[in-house]
Structure 1
Amino acid sequence: MTARIYQKPKHAMQSGKAHTDEWVLEFEQSQARFADPLMGWTGTGDTQSQVRLTFPDKAAARSYAEKYGIPARVFATPPKRLKLQAYADNFR
């Protein structure tokens, strides 16, 4: 029951920075997914993979994992790259 801790990235359809400062603790899958023979849906018997907890900072997420004895890996936030481009660059 390993967990991963990471900071939520801004998705492509989001122009603002709302909820990008939250940290997420998410459990990794312990069982492989399987296809249901009747409906064809994918399923799993692992209910922990559905749990997603949010925290205001990385320290709070780490302390929660340590308090409950959850082995967790922390993934660093990639640096934000700002692409400066002028409208005139479209016509070069």
Structure 2
Amino acid sequence: MSARIYQRPKNAMQSGKALLDQWILDFAPAEARKPDPLMGWSGSGDTQTQVQLRFATMAEAQAYAAKHGIAATVHATPPRRLKLQSYADNFR
């Protein structure tokens, strides 16, 4: 069973910084998704992909994965770059 640990990304529709400090542990899919013959919806028998565990710090997430024998990879968050500009810059 493998998983990935990452920090919650900022939503495109979100202007604030709420919930950005949470770290998430997601499980990788164990089997491929296949279409249902009756309805055509895609699904699988793997229920671990529905589980999302939230932690306050990356160390807590890594400790949980180590305690339960989960092979987890940490995906670092890219640094935020601010593009500072003013209205007067439009007329230069």
Q: TM-score range by the shorter chain?
A: over 0.9
- Number of aligned residues: 92
Tell me which residue corresponds to 1:47: 47
SS of the counterpart of 1:65?
helix
Residues 7-63 of structure 1 show CA distances to partners (whole Å, capped at 9, x for unaligned) of 001111000000000000000111111111111111011111111000000000000
Identity %: 65
Cα distance in 1 for residues equivalent to 2:2 and 2:90: 47
2:64 maps to what in 1?
64
Deviating above 6 A after TM superposition, structure 1's stretches of 4 or more consecutive aligned residues are: none
Please say which of residues 76-85 and 53-62 is displaced more in the overlay. 76-85
Which residue identity does 2:12 align to in structure 1? A
Matched, 1:33 2:40: no
Unaligned ranges ≥5, structure 2: none
Matched, 1:77 2:69: no
What is the TM-score with the length of structure 1 in the denominator? 0.94
Moved more, 53-62 or 40-49: 40-49
Letter in 2 for 1:88: A
